[in-house]
Amino acid sequence: MAGLVIGALARLITPGKQNLGIVATLALGLVGSLIGGLIAQFFGTGDIWELNVLGFVLAVVAAVLLIGVAEAIAGKNKRAVR
């Protein structure tokens, strides 16, 4: 559930118009939350499934980066078709 919130928050933070659908954004939020949880666990702040501040911040950052990469890839594909 936190991954869905993280995806929505990452979409709000990401600048510019986004061409990704809401489902793709939420899926990237879930992946970002897993990445952030793993990094936070590596730093010893808790388990990957625990909600902690560092894990949440890292998850949002990871989701924003993933959305940016997905937008760049989608933009390249869209330009190539035209």
Q: What is the pTM of this model?
A: 0.79
**To which residue do tokens 């489902």 refer?**
23
How far apart CA 10 and CA 5 sit, in angstroms, is 8
Cβ–Cβ under 8 Å, residues 29 and 10 = yes
- pLDDT, one tens digit for every residue, the chain (82 residues): 677 788 888 888 877 777 778 888 888 888 888 888 888 888 887 777 777 788 888 888 888 888 888 888 877 666 544 4
How far apart CA 6 and CA 37 sit, in angstroms, is 12
